[in-house]
Amino acid sequence: MEELQLTNCGEEAADLRMEMLPLFGGFSIIGALRTVGIGKTKGILVQFEPHAQQYFEETLKIYTKTSSVSVRLKGSGVK
């Protein structure tokens, strides 16, 4: 697991949303995305649990009504 930290640098509270990750891509988000207050930081837990011994690469896209961020997720399943 890895934790991503998101900080709201805007002038109003930000409701976080995300594009769905592929069901069998190996990556998942643990917990619900919450509202981030002005100047506050929230952590998002990303879990890597591969179903096969192969290379996985996905893009996590998180957005609000005024901004967005993309994070490239990479991992390799091992036996």
Q: What rounded mean pLDDT belongs to the chain?
A: 94
Beta strand pairing status for 27-30 and 14-15?
A: unpaired
Which whole number is the average pLDDT over 12-36? 94
Domain spans, the chain: 2-76
d(CA 76, CA 53): 7
Fold of domain 2-76: Immunoglobulin-like (2.60.40)
pLDDT exceeds 90 at position 40: yes
Residue 24: the pLDDT is 86
Residue 51: the pLDDT is 86
Residue 23: the pLDDT is 86
* 13 and 55 Cβ atoms separated by less than 8 Å: no
Q: Please identify which residue in the block is written with the tokens 């901004």.
A: 67
Which whole number is the average pLDDT over 46-62? 94
Residue 32: the pLDDT is 93
